[in-house]
Amino acid sequence: MSAILPPSERLWWKQPIDKVEWAWIAIAFVWGMVMFVMMIYWHIYGKQNLSNEAYKTTPEMFAAKAEKFIAENTIRTETEQQIPVVKVPANGEGYLIARLWAWYPILELEKGKTYKIHLSSMDYNHGFSLQPVNINIQVIPGYEHVVKMTPTKEGTYAIVCNEYCGIGHHSMLGRIYVK
């Protein structure tokens, strides 16, 4: 039998399977099981994939919650656009809005405290990539994503949109301060 010519027996699937073919089937099955177990292992122990919560919402509902949070917790404003810097209560919840082409507001967190950061988009898909740590979330309009984080180092962390969102995508940056 050749790969080019049709099989001489029309009912080729009724032919017995050769030992070499069984060996390849076994190797493929074992490798598939190894990969399946490794996906579960890396999710739990690899600290590669974040387990997060997501809820259905509307842009209006999320914006109302975020604006209330910002009004209650703003400590100062920064940049020429007067973006508020909001201190998230220790072990509390913070809100970040993604919209063309900005992350709003700037959050201030304390080292060693655990926070739940709520993310949502007001318009298009955006990517939340917290640099230099490996947190990467797809932020989708109509969903509220909740990311649990505990900062371990002080400093300024950049939020980068890594999902192309239009002509101003390259300027969509945000900040999180850890004191």
Q: What is the mean pLDDT of residues 133-158?
A: 89
CATH number for domain 53-178, candidates 1.10.10.10, 2.60.40.420, 2.40.10.10, 2.60.40.10: 2.60.40.420
Question: Which of 147, 157, 164 is CA-nearest to residue 178?
Answer: 157
3-state secondary structure (DSSP) of residue 11: coil
Evaluate if residue 75 carries a pLDDT over 60: yes
Q: What is the pLDDT of residues 90-135, one digit of tens each?
A: 888 999 999 888 898 999 999 999 999 999 999 999 999 888 887 8
pLDDT at 135: 82
pTM of the model: 0.71
On whether the CB atoms of residues 145 and 74 are closer than 8 A, the answer is no
- Name residue 26's amino acid: A
Euclidean distance between CA atoms 150 and 116, whole angstroms: 9
Average predicted confidence (pLDDT) for the chain? 87
pLDDT at 17: 84
Q: What is the dihedral of CA 123, 164, 44, 93, to 10 degrees?
A: -40
Question: Which of 93, 89, 139, 100 is CA-nearest to residue 116?
Answer: 93
pLDDT at 51: 65
Length of the chain: 179
